Amino acid sequence: MSRVLIIGCGGVAQVAIHKCCQHPEIFSDLMIASRTKSKCDKVKNELEGKTKTKISTAEIDANDFNALVKLFKEFKPEIVMHLGMPYQNLVIMDACLECGCHYLDTAAYEPEDVNEPVWKKEYDKRVKEKNFTAYFDYSYQWGYEEKFKEKGLIALLGCGFDPGVTQSYVAYAKKHEFDIIETLDILDCNGGDHGYPFATNFNPEINLREVSSEAAYYENGKWIRVPAMSIKREYNFDGVGMKDMYLLHHEEIESIAKNYPEIKRIRFYMTFGESYIRHMNCLENVGMLSTKPINFNGQEIIPIQFLKELLPDPASLGPRTNGKTNIGCIFEGYKDGKKKKYYIYNMCDHQESYKEVGSQAVSYTTGVPAMCGAMMILKGIWTKTGAHTVEEYDPDPFIDALNKYGLPITESYDPIMVE
Ligand code: NDP
C-alpha cells in the first residue's frame, strides 16, 4: 500500500497511471498533478470504478518549488514519478529532498532555455572537456547523489525504455551472458504508421531537439562527434522488417560508459522514415526548431513551442497507429574465453497497447518501465540510495516485472551485427 504522486498527464504519464491502477495492492493512493488539471480529471474519470486505486488530481506548475513542496506535504507521497518535461527535473528533485520522497523520471535534465548565460557557460566548458554537444547530460542529476543518500532516498534516473530498459538489458547481459562486453549497439525502431505526414511519438519539443542535434558515439574512452543524421544503416527488425536507422547521441550512452568502462564502443541508432526527415530538415531550415524567443505581433514566442501546438498531440496517436516497435541492445564480447554475440529486445504492438491502455506503443514502452521502476522501489527490491540510473540495480526482478506486465524480452544468440 503506497501513496504515489505522478507529475504530468501526457502520453507517457497516462500509460503509467493506467498501469499503476492495475496494481492497487501497491499503488493504493495515486495523485495526478499536472499543468492542465482537466487532463488529470479526464483520466481519473476514465479509471474510476475500474480500479481499487484511489485517485486524486491537482493543478501544479512544476517550475514552482514552493507549490511542489506544499503539494507533497499535503499528499505525503512515498515516491514522486516525474513524467512531465525534463526541464523541471532538478526543482522536483529538490522538492523531493525537502519532503522526504523518492524520485523517478524518464529523461535526463536539460534546460528549457539553452541560451541562459549561467547554464551556457557550464555547457560550453563541458563541450570542450567531454566533447559532446547534447543539451542533456547526467552531471546535474548525479550531483544529487550525496543529498539523496544522506536522506536515505532513491532518485531513479531515466526509467523509461531508452533510457531505462536498455540499461537494464546491459546489466542483464553482463550478469548472465558475458564476462566482458566489448561493443554495444542500442537499436530503437518504431515501425508504427499513424498516417500523418509528420508527427512525433513523444513530446515534440524534446524529440525534435534530440534528433536535430549533432550526433555522437563513444569509442575507446572518447566521444566521437558527427553531424546530425550523417550515419545511416539499414536493419531488418524482427516484427517490423527492413528500416533505415540513424546514429544519434542518447543519454544512456553516458551512464553506460561510466558504469561499464570495459565497453569499447557504444552507439545508439533510431529509425526514421523519409517523410519525417524531409519535414524535420525543412522545419529546421526555416527556423521552426529554434528555442530562441522571437517577437511576433508584439508577443514573445518560442518557435519550437509554437510548432508543438500545431503538431498532433502524441497522446492522441493511439487509435490511428498500426505496427510494432522493436527496441533492444546488440552486444559482442567474451564468455569463458570465447567470442560471443547476443541481442535482447522487446517488440510492442501499437494497437495492442491502445486496446489495453488507450495509448500508442511509444508511450506504452515508456510508461510501463516507469511503473515497474516505482514498483521495485516501493516493494523494497531496489534499495540503493542516492541518484542512480537503471543499470546500477539488479536487472532480474525488473526484467521479470517487464515480462509480466507488458514488455516481454526476446533473445537471439546469432544476430546480424550493425556494420
Ligand atoms: P507530453 O508532452 O505528452 O506530456 C508532458 C506533460 O507534462 C503534459 O501533461 C504537460 O502538461 C506536463 N507539463 C509540462 N510542463 C509542465 C509544468 N511546468 N508543470 C506541470 N506539468 C507540466 O510528453 P510525453 O508524455 O510524450 O513525455 C514525457 C516525458 O517522457 C518527457 O520527458 C520525454 O522526454 C520522456 N520520454 C522518455 C522516453 C524513454 O524511453 N525514456 C520515451 C518517450 C518520452 P500540459 O498537458 O498542460 O501540456
**With contact defined as beta carbons under 8 Å apart, do 379 and 79 qualify?**
no
- Name the residue among 39, 86, 80, 107 with its Cα closest to residue 313: 39
What residues line ligand 1, using a CB cutoff of 6 Å? 8-13, 34-36, 39, 60-63, 83-86, 88, 106-107, 158, 160-164, 202-203, 206, 314-315, 366
109 C-alpha to ligand 1 centroid (Å) = 13
pLDDT at 24: 97
Q: In this structure, what C-alpha cell is assigned to residue 351?
A: 494497437
pLDDT at 167: 98
* Ranges of the chain whose pLDDT falls below 70: none
141 C-alpha to ligand 1 centroid (Å) = 18
Pocket test for ligand 1, best of 202, 345, 390 (most atoms within 8 A of CB): 202
Q: Cα separations (Å) of 287 from 198, 212, 283, 292, 305?
A: 17, 12, 6, 10, 12
How far is residue 246's CA from residue 235's CA, in Å, rounded to a whole number? 10
pLDDT at 205: 85
Q: In this structure, what C-alpha cell is assigned to residue 111?
A: 534546460
19 C-alpha to ligand 1 centroid (Å) = 17
Write the DSSP assignment of 255-295 as a string of letters: HHHHH-TT-SEEEEEEE--HHHHHHHHHHHHTTTT--S-EE
pLDDT tens digits, residue range 243-275?
A: 999 999 999 999 999 999 999 999 999 999 889
Task: Report the nearest atom of ligand 1 relative to the CA of 160.
Answer: 41
Q: How many residues does the chain have?
A: 419
Ramachandran angles phi, psi of 9, nearest 5°: -145, 45
pLDDT at 18: 98
How far is residue 185's CA from residue 327's CA, in Å, rounded to a whole number? 11
Q: Cα separations (Å) of 174 from 28, 30, 328, 402?
A: 35, 36, 15, 18
pLDDT tens digits, residue range 190-236?
A: 999 999 999 998 888 888 888 888 999 999 999 999 999 999 999 99
Q: pTM of the entire structure?
A: 0.96
pLDDT at 206: 87
pLDDT at 292: 85
